Amino acid sequence: MQKLLLTIDKISTFVGKTFSWLIVSLTFLITYEVFSRYALDAPHAWAFDGMIMMYGTLFMMSGAYTLSKNAHVRGDVLYGFFPPRLQASLDLMLYFVFFLPGVVALCWAGYIYAGESWAIREHSGITASGPPVYQFKTVIPVAGAFLMAQGIVEIIRCVRCLKQGKWPSRIADVEEVDVEKLKEQMHVKDEDIAKLDEFVTAKKGSDK
């Protein structure tokens, strides 16, 4: 079971990191459009639509990846102090009350929304000659499907935590800097840092 959970984690991570490259394309597009608009006096009507579609795709396709890293924003003022079983109980309740109904609605509505858009070969109405948007709207149910798969994984993790009393492992990813661990790796002691602070303070005083 753990192998299956980590496999879906890997898929979510791969999808999220792949679509994260859209931020690079978006940066180049914005830079090009600003240069073209103000330096060449040749703005492009489709640029704004392109920016919206790129950012929207990036945002939606990163949802499952963020969930796989347990990185979605939560009000954890008290949550972080709870024992694992209580955390799992709260998460499990919220998944069934809010997450599953919301994501099912997203997938279903997104499927209908995209289908109607494909049926009429919908184009953007922001500008007179807007680009096609039906392929962009297809991202909605696709992103919802990935999010649903990852959500099921998280529900299973909650159940396993309730049984075992601890959270199952996740795939390691980029983390915030652990200052204490960094000091240990660099063989730096608090006393050394204090001496350095005193030296810098004394040096500033002598320079004045």
CA distances from 149 to 29, 90, 91, 117, 122 (A): 32, 20, 16, 25, 29
Is residue 60 within 8 A of residue 14, CB to CB? The reply is: no
171 and 189: one domain? no
Overall residue count recorded for the chain in this entry: 208
15 and 70: one domain? yes
User: Rounded to 5, what percent of the chain is helix, strand, coil?
Assistant: 70, 0, 25
Range of the domain at 194: 178-208
171 and 182: one domain? no
91 and 156: one domain? yes
Instruction: Give the number of C-alpha atoms closer than 13 A to the C-alpha of residue 128, restricted to the C-beta side.
Output: 1
74 and 106: one domain? yes
63 and 144: one domain? yes
62 and 126: one domain? yes
Which of the pair, 27 or 77, is modelled with greater confidence? 27
Q: What is the pLDDT of residues 150-204, one digit of tens each?
A: 999 999 999 999 999 998 888 765 555 555 666 676 677 777 777 777 766 776 6
Q: What is the pLDDT of residues 25-65, one digit of tens each?
A: 999 999 999 999 999 999 888 888 999 999 999 999 999 99
State both tokens at 91.
Answer: 């998460």
pLDDT(206) > 70? no
In whole angstroms, give the CA distance from residue 31 to residue 37. 10
Is residue 60 within 8 A of residue 16, CB to CB? The reply is: no
95 and 162: one domain? yes
Q: What is the pLDDT of residue 70?
A: 86
44 and 64: one domain? yes
Closest CA to 59 of 176, 168, 140: 140
19 and 75: one domain? yes
Amino acid letter, residue 4: L
Which of the pair, 108 or 73, is modelled with greater confidence? 108
Q: What is the pLDDT of residue 204?
A: 64
CA distances from 3 to 10, 14, 166, 168, 169 (A): 10, 16, 17, 11, 10
Q: Give the chain's domain count.
A: 2
Q: What is the pLDDT of residues 98-150, one digit of tens each?
A: 999 999 999 999 999 999 999 999 998 877 778 899 999 999 999 999 999 99
In whole angstroms, give the CA distance from residue 173 to residue 179. 17
161 and 184: one domain? no
Q: What is the pLDDT of residue 91?
A: 94
Q: Which residues pair with 132 in a beta bridge?
A: 123
Amino acid letter, residue 106: L
106 and 196: one domain? no
Q: What does DSSP assign to residue 99?
A: I
In whole angstroms, give the CA distance from residue 98 to residue 105. 11
Q: What is the pLDDT of residue 116?
A: 95
